[in-house]
Amino acid sequence: MKNNLGANIRGFRKNKGFTQEELAGMLGVTPQAVSRWESEAGLPDVSMVVPIAQALNVTTDMLLGYNPSDKDDYLLETVKNKIKAMYDISDAQGSALQRVEYLSGEVSRNPMNFEINLLYVQQVAELSYYIDMEGLLAENPERANALLEDGIKKGVTIIRYADSRSLVEKAHYALAWIYIHRKDFENAREHIDVLPSLENAKVREFLYSELSFFEHGFEEMKDSLTAANKMLCNVLLSQLNCMMENYAYWGEKNETLKNLEWCEHVAKAFSSIPEYTTDNMKYFWKKFNHNLMIVYEKAGEKEKANEICEEYLKKISEEKVFSKEEYESIEKELRERVYLF
């Protein structure tokens, strides 16, 4: 957070949904005084710091901006690790709900940490899938709606107030999924339409590579090209994963196998220069084999699906692609056939 008292008062006030008049009424000051604080035209008396923090339900350290980035980074990493530990393949719905409930508490304790807010919105987006497609909380639709509404509210807060373009775009992406699973396609389309498009190839990474060449020469340009290729790799894998999963679930067998074969060739071509790929590539191959298994399971060829499963598990075990814990999780996921037909 910025070490900027006026900006912090404004940010926390808006996050709480208070007007300047409402905050002024709580503190016994004029709305003009609050306006001066927030615009940095004047600062509140030191005696007002504690009452302001109490009214905004934050600590005085948070209000004053004493929140070093390394502390924020440590907090974010701690939260991410806790979320990761909550994943339970055998109870995908329950663990998704558990992650949302945990992050809801973290957001309440860190209302202006937009990275944690984003994690919450992303988890609500994942939860929306289980609510829509698998009937999670069907017995309690009011709770389901409240969770989705809160996710939307937090996402909108990120879009309005976060300084990071990346956070804003990720919030739009998550909100689009929430609206899709609520069957509110008009609002979904509004969030999709503001995201970068593949139609416009004039992305800044490409031009930065050329800038590096003209400013520093080819050797530095190569570093820029490698960095851009890594980002391109992630975009490509995201598209391939989308194709594979939907064809595996909804496509006809021969058509699906043809498309999975194409995805396989594309990924292998990208992998031919390892420095252009990212860690997501190993997860792509996990999803590729999982989707291939689904195709054969749907076709009633369970022996073929099991053969693919065992060959893949043997390969990643011998090559030590994943840590012991990750391997055990993948083994459980594939052998238990999370997706039942």
Return the closest-CA partner of residue 322 out of 278, 275, 283, 268.
283
Cα separation of 287 and 259, whole Å?
A: 14
CA separation for the pair 296, 300 (Å, rounded)? 6
Q: Give the integer Cα–Cα distance in Å for 278 and 282.
A: 8
Q: Are 60 and 49 in contact (CB under 8 A)?
A: yes
Asked whether the beta carbons of 177 and 125 are under 8 A apart, the reply is yes
Average pLDDT, the chain: 90
Question: C-alpha distances in angstroms, 56 versus 8, 66, 68, 79?
Answer: 10, 16, 20, 23
Map out the domains of the chain as residue ranges: 5-64, 69-193, 231-336
Tell me: the pLDDT tens digits for 130-151? 999 999 999 999 999 999 999 9
The closest of 40, 64, 41, 68 to 53, measured between CA atoms, is 64
Residues 6+ apart with CB under 8 A from 206: 228
Separation between Cα atoms, residue 124 and residue 83, nearest integer Å:
13
pLDDT of 338 reads 46
- CATH architecture classification, 69-193: Alpha Horseshoe (1.25)
Question: At residue 64, does pLDDT exceed 70?
Answer: yes
Say what percent of the chain tops pLDDT 90: 68
Neighbours of 281 (CB within 10 A): 18
- CATH assignment, 5-64: 1.10.260.40
Per residue in 282-335, pLDDT (tens digit) is 999 999 999 999 999 999 999 999 999 999 999 999 999 999 988 998 898 888
End-to-end CA, the chain:
48
Q: pLDDT of 150-180, one tens digit each?
A: 999 999 999 988 878 999 999 999 999 999 9
Per-residue model confidence (pLDDT) at position 289: 96
